Amino acid sequence: MNIFLDPAVLFFIFGLLAGFARSNLEIPPAISRFLSLYLLMALGLKGGFALYESGVNSEVFLSLVAAIFLAILVPVMGYYMLSQKLKPLDAAAVAATYGSISAVTFITASQSLDQSSIHYGGHMATAMALMESPAIIFAIIMANRIRAKEQQISTNSSSIKISKILHESFTDGGQLLLIGSMAIGILSGDVAHKVLAPFSIDLFKGLLSFFLLDMGLIAARNISQLKNKPIIIYVYAFIAPIVHALIALLIAKLLGLELGNAILLMVLAASASYIAVPAVLKEAFPEVSPALYMGMSLGITFPLNIIFGIPLYTFIAQSIIK
């Protein structure tokens, strides 16, 4: 199925249009939260069932190593580029946002691969979970270094703050649900796969469409937050995802990863966080307006990846990896 005719993507575009038209259409926050948790749980189960069948092999190991490497490389690279044009704290906040991942972009990409009959490993859900935290660690370390350099805080407080926020990050409900569901899928195997198929497979596409409708509405609201921002913000939000995806493709090619795993690695590298990292940034970077990193990730990069990025990354990967 052409992704532009995919109902989930069309619902996202519909949400964007409704948001731009300033419609009063709205998904209640409690339902949006439920949909988010459902998608993570279903993704974890599907990944666990797949790992139960395939087991752990060199492809799994190399994919996870590549994911961790990218999760470290992207925020470091982004900070040193952005710091040439932005204030240090602004640069660190944006770099951390783009160093993490968007679970919804990953889920949408996995659905696209399913519809195109492109195989990928269930372990890529683990890669997604591993790629979230390094950017959070980077954000906290950079915040403490910048403020210490400016003599606004003492370096003695940094370890306390890091431990506090890292605890919250690693015990985040969504991430725990994803990992726990994957473990349950691995342990329960084929029997649970058949029993839970109506929940984790049959309902998945419809609920993803409903969630993307909500995300379209939210993205439309966030675009307006970027008014009067420096031009580097727009350039980075459009160009960085493509650069990150190409770096991921190069790594996947060098490691000999399968096509589906390479595409998902590209999608993860190209995405930006709009939930986990922004929640940390509000505490770690109170000096930075959330409109900056939320406007970029949700207002530009998320729609770009959902509508154009996924088919583009798939096409490029198919041209390179035979």
Q: Is the distance from CB of 219 to CB of 19 less than 8 angstroms?
A: yes
| pLDDT given for residue 162 in this prediction | 58
Structural domains of the chain sorted by starting position, each given as residue range(s) with its CATH number in brackets: 3-16+27-320 (1.20.1530.20)
d(CA 219, CA 226): 12
How is residue 271 written in tokens?
């995405």
pLDDT digits (tens, 9 = 90+) for 191-203: 788 888 888 878 8
At 152, the pLDDT band (50, 70, 90 cuts) reads: low
Over range 116-139, report the average pLDDT.
87
Write 80-85 long-range contacts (CB < 8 A, 24+).
81/236, 82/232, 82/236, 85/230, 85/232
Mean pLDDT across the chain: 85
> 249 or 49, which is more confident?
249
Q: Is the distance from CB of 320 to CB of 251 less than 8 angstroms?
A: no
At 4, the pLDDT band (50, 70, 90 cuts) reads: low
**Percentage, residues of the chain above pLDDT 70:** 90
Q: Alpha helices, DSSP H only, in the chain?
A: 7-20, 29-54, 58-82, 88-99, 103-115, 124-130, 133-149, 158-170, 173-197, 204-223, 231-255, 259-270, 276-284, 290-296, 302-304, 310-320
| pLDDT given for residue 171 in this prediction | 62
d(CA 270, CA 316): 14
At 163, the pLDDT band (50, 70, 90 cuts) reads: low
Residue 181: partners with Cβ closer than 8 Å, 6 or more residues away: 40, 41, 42, 43, 44, 45, 48
| pLDDT given for residue 94 in this prediction | 94
pLDDT digits (tens, 9 = 90+) for 177-189: 878 888 898 888 8
This prediction has a pTM of 0.84
| pLDDT given for residue 155 in this prediction | 45
Which of 293, 267, 260 is closest to 279 using CA atoms? 293
Over range 71-76, report the average pLDDT.
95
CA distance to 89, 97, 175, 299, per residue, from 101 (Å): 20, 8, 12, 15
